[in-house]
Structures are given as structure tokens and as C-alpha cells.
């Protein structure tokens, strides 16, 4: 009995802990769909796409529910795709494998090149400083960088200035008296506001200013042209989004400014990989490749086998290679090789008019080094470093795979189940005939003049009954409308004169219509009423409309079935908490 009581007590304690942990866990969920979840952070990120912070904070609970509904629908589709085992479909496996190779290579470069040139600490420093503006006053004591004596003297002067300032001397007054920076000295050393940018970390004055407090005075700051003494006058601070939201934007901006540095680091990394994996080109194979590539069409398929059986009709120089030729190794490295077939396949990946022209060994080697070698080496190094197991890679590959699965399950459950007959099209057309009409057209005659007063005069004379054709011949200044005395047929959508022409009745004259540097006067000669279109005229439009309606109906039926079959729950209280302290990407101040 005692054992049973202890067991029962332990059971309730463990149960309570599990329930408490579950509650804490679910405090961050906005929805659970089957075994999948949508976190509050995921919802906020998705809802915020393309929206300004101000608009997001004004969004209603109903708007949030409607967006969450779309996210739930996506999860339901993914679950259905897994239930149909689409992740095992060869077509999906192949395209995911191709994407994985791409993303693995990109991640390797990110880890081994980008993050070494631009460490996370630099991005975080940028994030910390980008939402501040620092107003400073400055004093500059110049020196000749080639004169150690001048430099030493300047430092002594600067130190004495700092002492005077810290004893209470007025910074603006002293700056105007002693600073060697003429442009700021006349304003008491006022430099204005400093804004942090992608290269600010290289400037010692910026580094000092953004680490100081208001009213603080710096020690002498050495630069290449002198010693600076600065005082922090004012600090403006702005709200900032979470680091996770701002990181990529900051990273991209730094990258754009320092692209040459990243490019050099990348090629240096590739050179190291070439040495590591002992890349070696085969001169003889390269010679055979060039020889065969440059053979004229209708020549022998293999220069080593010149008999009638090997003659074939070529459509392209890339078809000159026999199977034996294609197997030849043009370059090898540790545990790998590049064949002529690899080069041919790479060249065929270009459209014919964009295909690189290769006429000698040097150009062939450059092409291989640029287009093929990096892929081979990066794949090998990624395999050694097990980049496939990197969490970032795994998340991106899973996301890509599930997007592909959604496309396929949609086709399976919606597109493939829609059948539309000619009778369906005709039935829809008959029910909506009034929607398909030729627009009303108007036959008009128009005159173009440069002078506004002349245009008003022509309108007055025409409205009094003067012959419009005669007026046209006397005053029209646009040669391209001389044919047919300026008569043409227009719809209401005709740019410039359409709406004015449709605002008057048959036989009436419009007011002068200003367009460009001149004026048009338009007379309506005749009105052609709207005419119903025939079925054959609108068949493509009707077909698209009927298919879209059928698709929407079938997708709704499918989602209703999924919602009835797959359990899901919405945590509305958590949804209400969304965006309480939200600051979006548009708030981040980056200059």
C-alpha cells in the first residue's frame, strides 16, 4: 500500500510537470495541425511580409485569423502530401537532390569565406550602431605622417587640449581657436550627426563616437592625418527590429560595399582547395577535346576511327564526340575526375546563342576552371565537412522539399481531378453572355494645334456650325493624322482623347484637350453600340474563367475534407499577443 501511494504521488507529480511543460511550450504556438506546429514567431514573420510596421500594428484579429487560416491550409496540404508518400517520388527526390547540392555549396562558401571576411561580430556591431545618430564637436591637430617628430609634438598638444577640456574649458571656444579643421573650427568644431554605415568600422573617429556617452570627451584619436578630440553633443536613438529580422539586410548591404574583398577571398579559397585536392589537367585530353570541338560539321565522329561506319551527320560541334572521346579524363583530383562528357554537358546547359566559344586549350582550361572545377571541389569539401548535416542546410532543404510536395499534391488532388467539356464552356457562356461584348466605339474627327487660344476659337466656330473638315484643313498641325482628314475609330480607353470623346453626344465638339505641348479638338461623327461577342471569339477567355472557378471549387472541397480528417487547434490567446512589441525591417535605420 505504501508503495502504491508513493507511486501514485509520483505519477501525479510527473503528470503535473508534463502538463506545465506542455503549457509553457504551447505559449509560443498559434496553431497545432496534426503533429506540426506554427509558432508565434513564424506567424509574425509570415504575416509581416511586404507590410509596414505601422500597418501591422493596426491589423485586426480578424485579419490575423484569415492569414493564419492560409498558413494552416498549407500545413494541411503538406500533411496530405506526406500521407501520399510523395517524398518518396523519384521526380521530387531528383529535384530536391539538385537543390541540396546547390544549397550545400552555398552554405560551405558562407561558412568558409563569407563569415571569415564578415564575422557575426561585425554584423552585430552594425546592428547595434545603425539605429543611432551621434552629433559631435571635434578638434583636429594635424601632423605630417612622414615626420615622427611632428607626430609626437601633435600628440603632446592634443593631450594638453584634453586636459584643458576636462578641467571645464568650453569645447566650442577652444575648437574655434586651435582646431586645424577649418571647415568645422568656424562653427565651434560642430561636425553634425554621424551615421553608421558599412565601412564605418574602419574609421577610428566613428568607432570612438559610437562607444561614448553624451557629453563625454575622448582622449586623442589617431588617424592618418592627425589627432582628433571629440565631444558627444547629442545621441538620437531609433527603435529596431529583432536582430534575426535585420541580420540579412545588414549582411547584404555590407556585402554590396565590399564585394571585391569577398570575391578575392572566394578565389583564394578555391585555389587552396585545388592544392588540397591536387587538381591536375591532362594536356593530351585537352588537345583531343579542342581538335574534336573544332572539326567541321559532317566530319568524322572520332578522328581515331576514320572509316565509313563512323561518318555521321552533325547538327552541332558538340556532337562530334564519340563515346570513347567523352570518357577521356581532362582533369583529375583526389578521389575525382572531370571528363570531356562533363564539359559537353556544361556547354549544353547554355542556350546556343549564349554558349561560350572555345577555340584553344587555354580557353578550354579557363572554362573548366570557372564553370566545372568549383562545383566538383566544393561538393568534395562539403562532403568532408559533412555540410549536409548543418542545421541551416537541413531547414532550407526541408522547406524546398515541402514546397515541391505541395505542387505535386495540388496537381494530384485538384488539377488532375478537373474535367471541363465543351458543353461546360458553352453553358457558362450562355449564362454570362452579357459579360462578353465588343465595347462601344466612336468614329471621331480630331484637330491638333499648338496654341490654346486658337484651340478655344476653333471650338467656338465648330459649335456655331462651321464645317469641321474645313477647320481641320486650315489649322491641323500634326502631319501623321492628315490621312482621312483626322478621322478614326476609338474606344473609351483610347489614351488622351478617349474619355473626353465619350463624354459628348453624336455631332458634338469637345472642349480643347491638352496633351503634351498642344491641344486636341474632337468631334464625334458616329456611335457604334456594344455588340455581343460570339462563343468562338471568347472561347479562350471563357475556358480560363471556367477552369479557374472549377479549380477554386475543387481546392475548397479538398481543404474541407482535410480539415474534417486532420485535427488542428488554434491558440487564439497567443494570436492576440502577436505584434505587441513588434518592430519591422522598415524601422531599421541604415544609411
Q: How confident is the model at residue 532 (pLDDT cuts 50, 70, 90)?
A: very high
Provide mean pLDDT across the span 26-31. 85
| Model confidence at 6: pLDDT above 50 | no
Following CA atoms 384, 390, 393, 399 in sequence, which dihedral angle do they give, to the nearest 10 degrees?
A: 140
DSSP, res 311: B
| Model confidence at 540: pLDDT above 80 | yes
- State the pTM of this model: 0.74
Where along the chain do its domains lie? 2-85, 132-237, 437-532
CA 527-531-533 angle, to 5 degrees, is 150
Q: What is the pLDDT of residue 31?
A: 97
- The pLDDT tens digits of the residues spanning 542-582 come to 999 999 999 999 999 999 999 999 999 999 999 999 998 88
Strands 329-333 and 280-281, how do they pair? antiparallel
Higher pLDDT, 335 or 33: 33
Q: State the Rg of the chain over Cα.
A: 37
| Model confidence at 3: pLDDT above 60 | no
Grid cell locating 412: 494530384
Provide the CATH topology of domain 437-532: Chitinase A; domain 3 (3.10.50)
Provide mean pLDDT across the span 446-471. 95
Q: What is the pLDDT of residue 590?
A: 54
Q: Helix/strand/coil (H, E, C) string of 374-389? A: HHHHHHHHHHHCCHHH
| Model confidence at 302: pLDDT above 70 | no
Q: What is the pLDDT of residue 582?
A: 84
- The pLDDT tens digits of the residues spanning 47-84 come to 999 899 889 989 999 999 999 999 999 999 999 999 99
| Model confidence at 193: pLDDT above 60 | yes
- The pLDDT tens digits of the residues spanning 357-398 come to 899 999 999 999 999 999 999 999 999 999 999 999 999 999
Provide mean pLDDT across the span 105-131. 93
Return the sign of the alpha-carbon dihedral for residues 440, 446, 452, 457. negative
Same CATH fold assignment for domains 132-237 and 437-532: yes
Of 439, 526, 444, nearest in space to 481 by CA: 444
Q: What is the pLDDT of residue 239?
A: 87
C-alpha atoms less than 13 angstroms from C-alpha of 393 in its C-beta half-sphere: 23
- The pLDDT tens digits of the residues spanning 474-508 come to 999 999 898 888 999 999 999 999 999 999 999 99
Q: What is the pLDDT of residue 10?
A: 41
| Model confidence at 423: pLDDT above 90 | yes
Q: What is the pLDDT of residue 7?
A: 38
Q: What is the pLDDT of residue 26?
A: 66
User: 132-237 is classed in which CATH architecture?
Assistant: Roll (3.10)
| Model confidence at 318: pLDDT above 90 | no
Q: What is the pLDDT of residue 344?
A: 93
Q: CA 326 → CA 84, 294, 331, 343, distances in Å? A: 41, 15, 13, 9
DSSP string, 10-42: HHHHHHHHHHHHHHHHHTTEEEEETTEEEEHHH
| % of residues, the chain, pLDDT over 70 | 91
| Model confidence at 11: pLDDT above 50 | no
CB atoms within 10 A of CB 293: 18
Amino acid at each position: 500500500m505504501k508503495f502504491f501511494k508513493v507511486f501514485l504521488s509520483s505519477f501525479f507529480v510527473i503528470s503535473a510537470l508534463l502538463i506545465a511543460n506542455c503549457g509553457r511550450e504551447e505559449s509560443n504556438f498559434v496553431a497545432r495541425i496534426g503533429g506540426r506546429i506554427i509558432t508565434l514567431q513564424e506567424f509574425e514573420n509570415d504575416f509581416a511580409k511586404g507590410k509596414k510596421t505601422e500597418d501591422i500594428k493596426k491589423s485586426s484579429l480578424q485579419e490575423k485569423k484569415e492569414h493564419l487560416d492560409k498558413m494552416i491550409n498549407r500545413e494541411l496540404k503538406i500533411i496530405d502530401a506526406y500521407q501520399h508518400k510523395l517524398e518518396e517520388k523519384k521526380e521530387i527526390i531528383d529535384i530536391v537532390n539538385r537543390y541540396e547540392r546547390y544549397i550545400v555549396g552555398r552554405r560551405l562558401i558562407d561558412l568558409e569565406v563569407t563569415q571569415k571576411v564578415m564575422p557575426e561580430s561585425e554584423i552585430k556591431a552594425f546592428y547595434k550602431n545603425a539605429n543611432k545618430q551621434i552629433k559631435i564637436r571635434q578638434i583636429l591637430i594635424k601632423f605630417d605622417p612622414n615626420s615622427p617628430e611632428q607626430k609626437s609634438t601633435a600628440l603632446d598638444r592634443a593631450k594638453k587640449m584634453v586636459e584643458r577640456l576636462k578641467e571645464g574649458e568650453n569645447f566650442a571656444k577652444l575648437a574655434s581657436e586651435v582646431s586645424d579643421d577649418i571647415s568645422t573650427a568656424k562653427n565651434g568644431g560642430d561636425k553634425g550627426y554621424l551615421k553608421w554605415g558599412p565601412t564605418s568600422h574602419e574609421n577610428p573617429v566613428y568607432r570612438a563616437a559610437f562607444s561614448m556617452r553624451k557629453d563625454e570627451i575622448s582622449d586623442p584619436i589617431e588617424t592618418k592625418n592627425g589627432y582628433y578630440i571629440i565631444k558627444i553633443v547629442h545621441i538620437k536613438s531609433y527603435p529596431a527590429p529583432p536582430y534575426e529580422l535585420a541580420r540579412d539586410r545588414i549582411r547584404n548591404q555590407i556585402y554590396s560595399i565590399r564585394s571585391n574583398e569577398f570575391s578575392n577571398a572566394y578565389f583564394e579559397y578555391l585555389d587552396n582547395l585545388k592544392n588540397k585536392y591536387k587538381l591536375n589537367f591532362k594536356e593530351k585530353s585537352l588537345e583531343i577535346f579542342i581538335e574534336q570541338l573544332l572539326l567541321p560539321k559532317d566530319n568524322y565522329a572520332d578522328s581515331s576511327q576514320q572509316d565509313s561506319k563512323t561518318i555521321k551527320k552533325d547538327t552541332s560541334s558538340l556532337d562530334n564526340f564519340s563515346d570513347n572521346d567523352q570518357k577521356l579524363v581532362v582533369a583529375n583530383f583526389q578521389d575525382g575526375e572531370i571528363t570531356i562528357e562533363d564539359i559537353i554537358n556544361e556547354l549544353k546547359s547554355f542556350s546556343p546563342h549564349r554558349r561560350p566559344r572555345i577555340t584553344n586549350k587555354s580557353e578550354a582550361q579557363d572554362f573548366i576552371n570557372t564553370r566545372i572545377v568549383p562545383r566538383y571541389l566544393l561538393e568534395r569539401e562539403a562532403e568532408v565537412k559533412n555540410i549536409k548535416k548543418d542545421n541551416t542546410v537541413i531547414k532550407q532543404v526541408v522547406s524546398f522539399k515541402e514546397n515541391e510536395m505541395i505542387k505535386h499534391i495540388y496537381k494530384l488532388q485538384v488539377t488532375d481531378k478537373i474535367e471541363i467539356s465543351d458543353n461546360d464552356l458553352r453553358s457558362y457562356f450562355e449564362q454570362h453572355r452579357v459579360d462578353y461584348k465588343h465595347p462601344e466605339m466612336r468614329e471621331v474627327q480630331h484637330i491638333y494645334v499648338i496654341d490654346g487660344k486658337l484651340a478655344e476659337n476653333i471650338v467656338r466656330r465648330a459649335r456655331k456650325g462651321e464645317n469641321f473638315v474645313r477647320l481641320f484643313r486650315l489649322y491641323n498641325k500634326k502631319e501623321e493624322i492628315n490621312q482621312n482628314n483626322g478621322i478614326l475609330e476609338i474606344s473609351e480607353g483610347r489614351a488622351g482623347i478617349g474619355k473626353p470623346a465619350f463624354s459628348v453626344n453624336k455631332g458634338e465638339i469637345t472642349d480643347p484637350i491638352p496633351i503634351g505641348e498642344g491641344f486636341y479638338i474632337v468631334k464625334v461623327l458616329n456611335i457604334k453600340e456594344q455588340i455581343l461577342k460570339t462563343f468562338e471569339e471568347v472561347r479562350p477567355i471563357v475556358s480560363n474563367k471556367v477552369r479557374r472557378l472549377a479549380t477554386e471549387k475543387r481546392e475548397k472541397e479538398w481543404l474541407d475534407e482535410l480539415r474534417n480528417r486532420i485535427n488542428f487547434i488554434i491558440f487564439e490567446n497567443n494570436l492576440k499577443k502577436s505584434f505587441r512589441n513588434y518592430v519591422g525591417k522598415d524601422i531599421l535605420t541604415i544609411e
